[in-house]
Amino acid sequence: MPTAGDDNRAMNAPLHTALPPLDPAPLAAPFDPAPFAARRRRLLERMAATGGGVAVVPTAPEKLRNRDTHYPYRADSYFWYLTGFGEPEAVLVLVADPAHPEGGRSLLFCREKNEEREIWDGYRYGPAAAQGTFAVDEAHPIGELDAQLPDLLGDQPALWHTLGVDSYWDERLAAAINTVRTRSRAGIRAPGEIRDLRQVLDALRLVKDASELALMQRAADIASLAHRRAMARTRPGLAEFQIEAELFHDFRLRGADGHSYPPIVAGGKNACVLHYVENNAILKDGDLLLIDAGCEVAGYASDITRTYPVNGRFSPAQKDVYEIVLAAQLAAIDVIKPSATFQAPHAAALRVLTQGLVDLKLLSGDLDGLIESEAYKPWYMHRTGHWLGLDVHDAGDYKRPVEGGGSDWMPLEAGMVLTVEPGLYIRPADKVPEALWNIGIRIEDDVAVTAAGCHVLTSPPKTVAEIEEVMAHG
């Protein structure tokens, strides 16, 4: 264990790398409602294609943390996707109408202006300003929603809603439908169907538009710089949470909203705990450090994992395992292109990882047989990736039904974004050479599918040489 003096020297070590300055332009840019309006139009088209109706999309509720302190507020991802409106207590209503130039009417219900509350809690748009800024047809006080819903739902074929997500909204919308039913003797019909809005919205969210890809690139760039900073500052004797602080420093310094999920900063054997988030152990000379952390920019997540030696030099055993995981990750990225399926990178990674386990003498036998029997599972127990977007494990199906029954893995198309994150986790066990014990390695990048193949959004140092260089010289 190093002395306290070593700790201080490490924390104050200058970063020799010239980090790109913060680009304030995206922060100062005025809000552009056009991409959100285009998404509402696409949703209305999909609704119209299956008979039309009315969609009701509430944002997330505020959540109390304790007494009168709230958790930091974050809008519901579906609501944000369709509006870009970040205030709580808001609901979007879309009324499909083929005669409307946008495919239907959009109504935003939001908080009213309130001078006293704004002194305490900050600016509120209020309906008048919200209507223009967010380019909706109408905006109304949120207090009018229950009174207006029965009128909006009358004589409509279907109510579209994210059924079962929030029982409060399930009940509130059922009450609105019951109110419409009381009008049956006036000849007004209640919607005959309640349809799951998630299916159609998830399919839309799966393929990112240009403005989403730009935000995801920014989230990827900021998180990449943060990982690089953490790497340059890592030394034996520091605590995992001190490295976590380095990440958060860069996230906020460069304008990200914050973490996109609780960061994993796992030294030594903690790297073999897949969802380790305590981040409170001391980093030891000779151990590896696994960091799985990403930031959020305007609602969009990045998700990066890097693994490197605490003391800046890979041991021979650590290097052997690292090179296997890196080769698996590169092989997985290599097969990502339109028409390949979501399963293709996983299959490519499994081949390299399983051969690597044979080379490490942890497995023996025929490669295809070992893959078929999932012999790799004790050391590789998770999948190689997931969709990424507004949610770190983003919306979107991984399989699609095929004619004649059954399902196939989702074919990739340009605009989809997925993570590629193979790993190997070697816990102490009989018949495992001691040099390999507690080596937990994962390497994760964010990859956008393009027409020509794919584009890797994330860029922290990744090869053994790059990592050792950054750790030696910043």
Q: Is residue 244 near Mn ion by the rule CB under 5 A?
A: no
Site track 151-190 with Mn ion (rule: CB under 5 A), x = hit: ----------------------------------------
Q: What angle do CA 64, 67, 68 make, to 5 degrees?
A: 70
CB atoms within 10 A of CB 369: 10
Contacts of 54 (CB under 8 A, 6+ apart): 93, 94, 95, 96, 152, 153, 156, 158, 159, 160, 191
Which CB sits closer to Mn ion, 301 or 410? 301
- Among residues 55 and 304, whose Cβ is nearest to Mn ion? 304
Binding residue for Mn ion (CB under 5 A) from 106, 242, 355, 419?
A: 419
Stretch that binds Mn ion, among 68-76, 172-180, 233-241, 415-423 (CB under 5 A): 415-423
> For the chain, how big is the Rg over CA atoms in Å?
25
- Give the strand pairing for 454-456 and 445-449: antiparallel
Q: Which positions from 277 through 336 interact with Mn ion, judged by CB under 5 A?
A: 303
The DSSP annotation for 444-455 comes to BEEEEE-SSSEE
Cβ burial, residue 398 (10 Å; 0-12/13-18/19+): middle
In the complex with Mn ion, the residue whose CB is nearer, 173 or 447, is 447
Q: How far is the CB of 393 from Mn ion (least distance, A)?
A: 7
Would you name the residues annotated as active-site residues? 68, 275, 292, 303, 382, 386, 393, 421, 425, 442, 444
- Which CB atom, from 63 or from 393, has the smaller least distance to Mn ion? 393
Considering the complex, what minimum distance in angstroms separates the CB of residue 84 from Mn ion? 25
d(CA 233, CA 9): 10
| Dist. CA 391–CA 77, nearest whole Å | 7
Which x/- pattern, by CB under 5 A, does the window 369-408 give for Mn ion?
----------------------------------------
Residues binding Mn ion: number (CB under 5 A)? 2
Distance CA 226, CA 116 (A): 39
| Least spacing, CB of residue 204 vs Mn ion, in Å | 22
Smallest gap, in angstroms, from Cβ of residue 350 to Mn ion?
A: 17
d(CA 291, CA 293): 6
β-bridge pairing 158-161 and 54-58 = parallel
CB of 384 to Mn ion, least distance (A): 10
By beta-carbon proximity to Mn ion, the closer residue of 110 and 230 is: 230
Distance CA 301, CA 217 (A): 10
Q: How many residues appear in the chain? A: 474
* Torsional sign, CA 180, 185, 188, 191: positive
Alpha helices in 50-160 (DSSP H): 77-83, 115-121, 126-133, 145-153
Which among 8-16, 345-353, 412-420, 435-443 is the span making contact with Mn ion, rule CB under 5 A? 412-420
Q: Which is nearer to Mn ion, 279 or 419 (CB)?
A: 419
∠ Cα 73 79 82 (to 5°): 135
Query: Minimum distance between the CB of residue 264 and Mn ion, rounded to whole angstroms?
Result: 10
Q: 287 vs 444, which CB is nearer to Mn ion?
A: 444
Q: How far is the CB of 216 from Mn ion (least distance, A)?
A: 14
Binding segment toward Mn ion, per CB under 5 A, in 158-166, 263-271, 332-340, 416-424: 416-424
Binding interface with Mn ion (CB under 5 A): 303, 419
